[in-house]
Structure formats: C-alpha cells, structure tokens
C-alpha cells in the first residue's frame, strides 16, 4: 500500500480545517478535482482524520457522485428524471455514447470520459439536462450533443466550453408576494431584532406558514420548540437538498432570491438563539455554490452576517454551505443532519426530532429554502405579507414541468385548483398529473377540481403533467426504479421491498406480468407503508399502485387475464450453456 500523501486530499484537509465531520466535503472536493477518489486519497484522509479507511469507503459507496474508480477527464451525467426522459434524455445519452464510442455507465479505457445516468438534476423545465464534472448544462439537443462530443474528444477544458451553455435562467412564470416584492436586504432581520423573538413567532403563527418541504409542520412551532430548549448551542439548517424529481423552485430561489433565504435563516437564528446556520446544498446545484459563497461574503462585509449583526451587540450569526454528494434520502431532515456530520445519510430513529436533538446532538431548526424565504417577508411586513382571499393561508411555489406550453415556476395561493394551475401553464391535454413528485399523489384528468393545499394535494413543489400520449406504466416504472436506486438500505421492508417492486414492475412492463403479480405488489405495498423506517420506503410502491388504480388499462393491457406467468426465461437461462457447447464443439 502506498504511503505517499495525496496533495489533492491535503488541500481538502486544509480547506476543511482537518475536521473529521467534514470528511464528506473533502471527499466531494477530491472527486470534483480529479473525477475519482484514489486509494492514496483515502489513506491520506484516514490517517489525518484518524478514521478507519472502511468508514471513508462506506461514504464513497453510499453517495452516488463519489467513486473510487477513475471516471476520466469528463464525467457526464444525464438526468434520468421522468421529465428529462420525456424530453429525450435517454436518446441524447445514447447519442453521446455512440459519438464517443463508449458504453453508458462505463468509464472508457483511455481515461477520457464516463457517460452515465443520474437521478433528477432539478432542471426539469429546461431538460434534458446534464452535469459535466459537476456543472449543469440544460436544453441538451442533438446539435449540442454533437458539439459536446467534439469538445470532449479534443479535450477542451470545461472552462472553454461555450459560455451560454452554462447560463441557467429561472422561468418565473407567475409572481406572488415572494417573487415580486420590494423587501430590502436585511429588512426582516432589523424588524426581528426590533420586535423580539416572541413577536416573530406570534406573527409566523398568525400567517399560517407551514414547512414548504412537503411535511407541512407549522413553522412557528418548530422555531418555538427550538427556542425553548435549554442549551447554549443551537443550529439553523436550510434544506436545499431539492431532490424530489420534478422540483426546481429552490434552485430558482437560491439563484435569484438568495437574499430572502439568507435573511430568513438569520431571522431564525436571531429568534431561536442560534449563531450558526448551514445551507445543505445538493450536489447537483454546484453551479450555484460559488455565487452563493460570494453573496455570503458580501453580507459579512455589510454586517448582515458575522458578529454584532447590524451593530446589535451580542447578535451573532453566520452561514456556511455544506454540499450533498448524491443521495435523495438526505432530503429527510435527520438523514440530512447525518450527512452534514460526515456520515452516510441514514434517517435517524425519531423521536427525538432534530428540533431538540439535531446537528451534533444540538437543537436544530431544519427548514426548506422556500420556508425561510416566506418567513423573511412575514417577519419584515407582518402576516399580511402572505394573505390572500382564499381559505387556505399562504402561498406556494410550484415547479411545473412536463407536457404544458409554459413550464416553470408559479407562485400560487394555497387552495388554487388544479384546473386553474393547468390553465396558467397551458396544459390543455391532461391525462395525469403527478403532484408532489414520485413520493406524492398521481391524479387523473377527472380530478382537476382538487386543490393544491395541505389538506388535499400536498406538494413540496413538484408538479409534473402528462398528456394523453404518455404511457403511464412507463412513468410508474421510472419512479419505481428511482426509489430502489435511492433506498438507503437501512430497513428490511424498503431495502428488499424496493428491489422486489422493481422486479415486478419490470416483469409487467416486459409483458411477463400476471394477476398474481398485481396482488403481490398490493400486499408488499401494504407492508412497506406500514413497516418502513422513513417516508421513502413508505411511499416507494405508491406510484405503481396508484397507476393501477387510476390508469388500470396501462397495466391490464399488458397483463391480460393470466393468473400466473413466471419471470423465468428459459432462453436466457441456457444462453451460457449453449455458448459453452458451441465453443466445445468447435475446438
């Protein structure tokens, strides 16, 4: 074994102050620098951080974007989200593979390139999207793939690729109070300090703001519980691990409205008594990181962050960005905290919840990007900031993608009907809509009078429209594969269940399905829902079963009346034997 120190690893060690808890950040840094993490890097980290090499390898094995085998000079990931699919991502990926003479998912022998698929990259309204060496490029068409293949073959550094490829615009289609306001930077912080914690919490309560990440826990309560804990050290965490396929509104907020997000986090820190905040930013949003760092630095310069904020003695708060490394499950707040601590993202046993036992065991408020942004408006201008005429309080950002004329971000009052949303985005041929992503709810065209609200169709933002040309089984297949790929593997029902589910959905899609498979899926779904450790396993079988419930033909047409059909394929099972016999007969 080599004892040589890796200089890349050494750089990362310095950057992250040799803190063992930052090991995941270091690994990510190494990965981005050289597209793989070598044995020398692992050893250097292990020695310096006093960690067993196995624990470092365990992280590499857990996070999708970390690899211990070289991926070449260019690591190209095509988003495999259903919306990218619908826009031709697989065809484009195959096109690039052909142009470069490589196989999908396999590093080429020359050490030049790896073309692979990855889970949703959060560029759903402008797909198909790719990540090249961690940086996002959107709207990949045939022409762009041809050009990209040329650039890769000629080994043109990424920095010299056409600049316009890297410009990610936000399609802000409908603006409400959050996307269209005249809030001054720091206004909310000033008012929070002025009115005091109790009043901040009272105003949040009056506004009716609930967590925008999907769970819908009342924001004021979370802040109030955290504030009431008896400890000196508390934390504020902004969950920017926007991994639910079809969601991209947090991306836009961080890109264009980061001042609201930073203000909101600082307000939260001031209110609950935390002096440190983190943004857990998903790996796929690497392209946002630098500008966010710059803006944070600017805030420190104008005293919106740091010690004695805005001259108020003893009010200290700073924000650090922590990056994810490719794991959907880390969107769950306790898994996110595990990941922040440099561990595999396994959801913790709850209770206790992070609000009392969070980052490093300390009380931690974890809120979604959007929640912080709305809190900013509410605290600055009072609960009226989010008021509207409807029954459900507050507003919601929707990320609309799929089959409509104007995909993008829509700020709507909660309680808006699906019909109205469809009208806004120009969806006039609706077969189905997936509200809330693969883990959410699939509705058919008969349900357009239902509403986007916590009580009816709850969504963290994902809103994917399928027109009548779409095969709904293909959609369920994509979601089922997604859940299996993203299962953390901790508990039996999810680890084994997602794999069994995938096998059964594949079987049906391949024309080998039978009635018995449908019954089996229903039983398994029941078990996974009731016994899984977290929401991932609980929701993993929902897509296929909702598809069966609402679009039975998409499954019945393939299954027919056959009670039992084996997955067993005789021809495949004897292929190897036949080959051997042929070889032996020849020799």
Partner 1 sequence: MSGRIRIDGVSIPFADGQTVMQAAEDAGVHIPHLCYHPDYAANGSCKLCTVAIDGWQTSSCTTKAVDGMVIESNTEELNSERRALTQMLFVEGNHHCPSCEASGNCKLQNQAYRLGMTALIFPDFTAGRATDATHPDILLNRDRCIYCELCVRASREADGKDIFCITGRSENKSLAINSDSGTLADSGLQVEDAAANVCPVGAIIKKRQGFRKPIGQRDYDERRVHHNKVRLPNLPKLDKAPGEKVSVATCSLAGCFGCHMSFLDIDERIIELTQRISFDRSPLNDIKHISGPVDIGLVEGGVCNTENIETLREFRDNCQVLIAVGACAMDGGVPALRNHLDVRDLLEESYINGRGIDSPQIPVDRELPYILEEVSPIHEVVKVDFFLPGCPPPAEAFWLILTDILDGRQPDLPYDLLRFD
In whole angstroms, what is the distance from residue 425 CA to residue 173 CA? Answer: 8
- Minimum CB distance to partner 1, residue 63 (Å): 8
- Binding to partner 1 (CB under 8 A): which residues in 528-547? 530-533
| Residues whose CB falls within 8 Å of the CB of residue 93, separated by 6 or more in sequence, listed in order | 78, 104, 115, 117
User: Which CB sits closer to partner 1, 446 or 571?
Assistant: 571
Q: At what angle do helices 515-531 and 552-559 cross, to 10 degrees?
A: 130
- Binding to partner 1 (CB under 8 A): which residues in 497-516? 497-500, 503, 516
Looking only at the bridges linking them, the beta strands covering 135-137 and 130-132 are antiparallel
Query: Does residue number 495 form part of the binding site for partner 1 (CB under 8 A)?
Result: yes
Query: Does residue number 163 form part of the binding site for partner 1 (CB under 8 A)?
Result: no
Q: List strand residue ranges (DSSP E) for 257-346, in order.
A: 276-281, 318-323
Contact between 354 and 333 (Cβ < 8 Å): yes
Backbone angle region of 583, left / alpha / beta, with phi > 0 → left and psi within -120 to 50 → alpha: alpha
Q: Among 207, 486, 512, 550, which residue interacts with partner 1 (rule: CB under 8 A)?
A: 486
Contact between 419 and 448 (Cβ < 8 Å): yes
Query: Does residue number 581 form part of the binding site for partner 1 (CB under 8 A)?
Result: yes
Q: What angle do CA 287, 291, 293 make, to 5 degrees?
A: 110
User: Which CB sits closer to partner 1, 303 or 492?
Assistant: 492
Place of tokens 């950040």: 25
Query: Does residue number 57 form part of the binding site for partner 1 (CB under 8 A)?
Result: yes
- Minimum CB distance to partner 1, residue 489 (Å): 4
Query: Does residue number 34 form part of the binding site for partner 1 (CB under 8 A)?
Result: no
Query: Does residue number 496 form part of the binding site for partner 1 (CB under 8 A)?
Result: yes
3-state helix, strand, coil in the chain (%, to 5): 50, 15, 35
In whole angstroms, what is the distance from residue 447 CA to residue 454 CA? Answer: 16
Q: Among 14, 167, 310, 567, which residue interacts with partner 1 (rule: CB under 8 A)?
A: 567
Q: Among 124, 168, 491, 541, which residue interacts with partner 1 (rule: CB under 8 A)?
A: 491
Query: Does residue number 47 form part of the binding site for partner 1 (CB under 8 A)?
Result: no
Q: What is each CA distance from 65 to 119, 158, 167, 218, in whole angstroms?
A: 11, 18, 23, 34
User: Which CB sits closer to partner 1, 302 or 503?
Assistant: 503
- Minimum CB distance to partner 1, residue 499 (Å): 5
Q: List strand residue ranges (DSSP E) for 259-360, in order.
A: 276-281, 318-323
User: Which CB sits closer to partner 1, 298 or 526?
Assistant: 526
Show the site string, 317-346: x = touches partner 1 by CB under 8 A, - = not.
Answer: ----------x----------------x--
| Residues whose CB falls within 8 Å of the CB of residue 442, separated by 6 or more in sequence, listed in order | 432, 433, 434, 435, 543, 546, 547, 550
- Minimum CB distance to partner 1, residue 503 (Å): 6
Query: Does residue number 4 form part of the binding site for partner 1 (CB under 8 A)?
Result: no
Task: Select from 9-17, 140-148, 278-286, 558-566 the region that touches partner 1 (CB under 8 A).
Answer: 558-566
Q: Residue numbers of the site for partner 1 (CB under 8 A)?
A: 1, 52-55, 57-58, 61-62, 327, 344, 349, 484-493, 495-500, 503, 516, 520, 523-524, 526-527, 530-533, 563-564, 566-568, 570, 572-578, 580-581, 584-585
């Amino acid at each position: 074994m080599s004892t040589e120190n890796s200089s890349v690893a050494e750089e990362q060690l310095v950057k992250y102050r040799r803190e063992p808890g930052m090991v995941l950040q270091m690994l990510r840094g190494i990965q981005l620098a050289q597209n793989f993490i070598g044995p020398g890097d692992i050893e250097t980290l292990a020695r310096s951080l006093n960690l067993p090499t196995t624990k470092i390898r365990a992280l590499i094995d857990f996070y999708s974007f970390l690899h211990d085998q070289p991926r070449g000079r260019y690591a190209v990931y095509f988003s495999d989200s259903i919306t990218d699919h619908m826009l031709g991502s697989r065809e484009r990926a195959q096109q690039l593979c052909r142009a470069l003479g490589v196989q999908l998912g396999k590093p080429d022998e020359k050490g030049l390139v790896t073309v692979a698929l990855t889970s949703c990259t959060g560029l759903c309204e402008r797909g198909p999207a790719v990540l090249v060496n961690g940086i996002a490029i959107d709207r990949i068409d045939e022409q762009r793939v041809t050009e990209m293949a040329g650039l890769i073959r000629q080994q043109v550094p990424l920095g010299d690729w056409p600049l316009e490829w890297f410009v990610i615009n936000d399609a802000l289609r409908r603006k409400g109070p959050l996307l269209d306001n005249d809030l001054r930077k720091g206004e909310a912080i000033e008012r929070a300090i002025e009115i005091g914690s109790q009043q901040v919490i009272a105003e949040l309560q009056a506004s009716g703001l609930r967590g925008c990440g999907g769970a819908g826990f009342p924001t004021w309560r979370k802040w109030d519980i955290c504030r009431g804990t008896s400890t000196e050290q508390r934390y504020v965490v902004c969950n920017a691990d926007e991994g639910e396929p079809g969601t991209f509104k947090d991306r836009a907020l961080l890109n264009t409205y980061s001042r609201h997000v930073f203000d909101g986090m600082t307000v939260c820190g001031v209110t609950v008594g935390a002096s440190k905040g983190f943004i857990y930013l998903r790996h796929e949003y690497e392209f946002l990181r630098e500008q966010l760092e710059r803006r944070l630095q600017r805030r420190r310069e104008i005293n919106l962050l740091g010690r004695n904020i805005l001259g108020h003695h003893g009010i200290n708060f700073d924000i650090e960005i922590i990056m994810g490394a490719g794991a959907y499950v880390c969107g769950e707040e306790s898994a996110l905290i595990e990941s922040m601590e440099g561990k595999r993202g396994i959801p913790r046993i709850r209770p206790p919840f992070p609000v009392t036992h969070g980052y490093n065991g300390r009380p931690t408020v974890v809120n979604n990007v959007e929640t912080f942004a709305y809190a900013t408006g509410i605290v600055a201008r009072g609960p009226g900031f989010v008021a509207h005429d409807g029954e459900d309080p507050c507003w919601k950002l929707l990320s609309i993608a799929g089959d409509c004329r104007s995909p993008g971000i829509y700020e709507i009052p909660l309680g808006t009907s699906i019909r109205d949303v469809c009208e806004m985005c120009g969806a006039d041929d609706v077969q189905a809509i997936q509200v809330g992503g693969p883990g959410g709810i699939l509705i058919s065209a008969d349900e357009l009078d239902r509403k986007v609200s916590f009580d009816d169709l709850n969504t963290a933002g994902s809103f994917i429209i399928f027109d009548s040309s779409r095969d709904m089984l293909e959609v369920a297949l994509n979601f089922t594969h997604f859940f299996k790929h993203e299962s953390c593997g901790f508990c039996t029902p999810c680890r084994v269940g997602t794999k069994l589910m995938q096998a059964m959905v594949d079987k049906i899609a391949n024309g080998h399905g039978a009635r018995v498979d449908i019954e089996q899926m229903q039983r398994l779904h029941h078990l996974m829902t009731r016994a899984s450790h977290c929401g991932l396993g609980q929701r993993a079988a929902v897509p296929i079963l909702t598809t069966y419930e609402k679009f039975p033909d998409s499954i019945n047409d393939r299954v027919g009346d056959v009670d039992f059909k084996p997955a067993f394929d005789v021809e495949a099972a004897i292929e190897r034997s036949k080959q051997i016999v042929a070889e032996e007969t020849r020799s």
